[in-house]
Amino acid sequence: MSTTPDATPLDGPLAAARAAGRPALVGYLPAGYPTVGSSLSALRALSRHVDVIELGIPRVEMFTSGLHRTAHQRALEAGATVGIALRLVRHLTAGIDVPVLVNTHWRPIARHGVATFAAALGASGAAGVVLPEVHPTGPAGSRWRLAAARHRLATAFVAGADQLAAAARASTGCVYVPGLLTPTARNIDALTLTRRRGQVQRWAPAGMPIVVGRGITNPAQAAALATPGNGIAIGSALIQAAESATDPSSAIEHIDLCARRFAHALTRPARIGGAAA
């Protein structure tokens, strides 16, 4: 087992969830969704019900179809960029006490330069990143971890089947385990997922939360998969809720209601003005 990692901005909120005997709730939306103009309001609504916000840098190449591709395509067509994503983080973190993780592919990091991107992320107030396509111990992962440490950024790698131990040992703040265990899977295999989460837990630093995401579609499923002290990430359900709305204003209301239902299922009290209700 690894030693305890350096403190990151995620540690306090995740420790609070653990102390309360419940899982942390992570809510995911792409930057610029439902529209660039309404994105900040949607994220603020989401922040009332979650412990961590996960903000996606818009891209479509990682999604062959489905809700995520639709949402990312809408954001890109509306003009969402890396710069807009960072501005959203700055505005968001200035007004709430919920940490923001930025989910990004490697291309923006490589284009800006590892050191420059990490510095910009730190200056924005972001808590860290989720790197779904980067191998933790490869050249890119190693370079990123060094830069992230300089700015006290958490780095959550994704524990795919071929990098369970590497992701568990290299992540800081938390480590992600995908609910859908293969790219073609349509349903979560709860037994295999539980086994994989246990493997990651053994390799991870003591007390590090394991966040399960991708494929969780409803509150009952989230509650069944949740374990106290770990985390549940939702994205598809939030996007589906927004897509069922008739306009951006009602899309925010739908996101708020969807997040509220997941939070209730995980016994997460809603925030009003940044304080627990």
Give residue 5's pLDDT: 46
Position 172 scores a pLDDT of 92
Pairing mode, if any, of strands 100-103 and 52-56?
parallel
Q: What is the pLDDT of residue 228?
A: 85
Nearest one of 179, 169, 219, 244 to 2, comparing CA atoms: 169
Domains of the chain in start order, with CATH, are: 19-266 (3.20.20.70)
Taking the chain (277 residues) in runs of 10, the rounded mean pLDDT of each run is 60 89 94 94 96 90 68 87 95 92 94 96 96 92 95 91 88 86 64 82 88 87 87 94 89 96 79 44
Alpha helix (H) residue ranges in 48-152: 67-77, 82-95, 106-112, 114-124, 139-150
Q: What is the pLDDT of residue 68?
A: 79
Positive or negative, the CA dihedral 85, 33, 262, 171 is negative
